[in-house]
Amino acid sequence: MDEKQGDPLDQIKNLLESKSTAKQITYKNLLAAFQTLSAEAKRIVGALNKKVVPGDNDVTIEFTTINSHEFHVKLAGDLLIFVLHTNVVAIDGSHPVMQDPYLKEKEVNRYFGQIMIYNFMADSLKFNRINDPGYLLARLLINREGRYVIEGDGHLTGIANKLSSSPIVDSELGILVKLALMLAIENDLVAPPFPDVRYITLFQKMERTLELGAGRKIGFQITMSGK
């Protein structure tokens, strides 16, 4: 073993004091942001329920806490699923946001926690239609200093799509919830082409009756991607 490389224990110690510590701080920031995001979503749902007067009692707006890492917002026929990923990731060097000098200053600056917002049809969960697709509406990335990137489409492109210059605040999380709700409503169902549903098997009829002919969301394409 080359003595010039030093003691591996010292290298492990340095990594624990830098990378591992930075990732733990990042996760704590992420968890705090998710708790605020949940509180903002619950507040917005309450405000909508006071404002909206639907013409049908089945048009409901509901907030549901699943656990500390997931909550749902039902908006009529749409279901938004907010999920906190427990693993902290490093943004790949080819990601457009890596052009920001801040991320090149220190390696630990490029470690981010992730919050994903998915759009499903509410009936998919209600009737356990396990083959129905969901779509990623937005991804929020937060680092150890609270600086963030929002990836998304539609109205969300105007929020960020680049690294923020300051830590995320409650009002920005509230805006994220509102814009995600708007995207979900605007993302209409599209009926499958007639030839695709022309033939069915008896098994499909017996086991998947509720799925037959179900519409699919158009979906939005995330404009940037990281690892």
Mean pLDDT for all residues in the chain: 79
pLDDT for the residue 101: 92
pTM of the predicted model as reported, rounded to 2 decimal places? 0.78
- DSSP E strands in 106-223: the ranges are 111-121, 135-142, 148-152, 189-190, 216-217
pLDDT for the residue 203: 63
pLDDT band at 5 (very low <50, low <70, confident <90, very high): low
DSSP string for 30-41 = HHHHHHHHHHHH
For the chain, what are the domain ranges? Answer: 3-188
pLDDT for the residue 160: 60
DSSP-derived secondary structure letter, 187: S
3-class secondary-structure state, position 224: coil
Q: Give the highest mean pLDDT range of 65-69, 77-81, 134-138, 155-159.
A: 65-69
HSE, CB side, 13 Å, CA atoms: give it for residue 131. Answer: 10
Q: How many residues does the chain have?
A: 227
Which of 86-95, 114-123, 201-210 is the least confident region?
A: 201-210
What is the C-alpha separation between 25 and 143, in angstroms, rounded? 8
Look-up: residue for tokens 């080819």?
A: 94
What is the C-alpha separation between 224 and 114, in angstroms, rounded? 14
Q: What are phi and psi of 69, to 5 degrees?
A: -120, 5
Residue 226 has pLDDT above 90, yes or no: no
What is the C-alpha separation between 139 and 154, in angstroms, rounded? 13
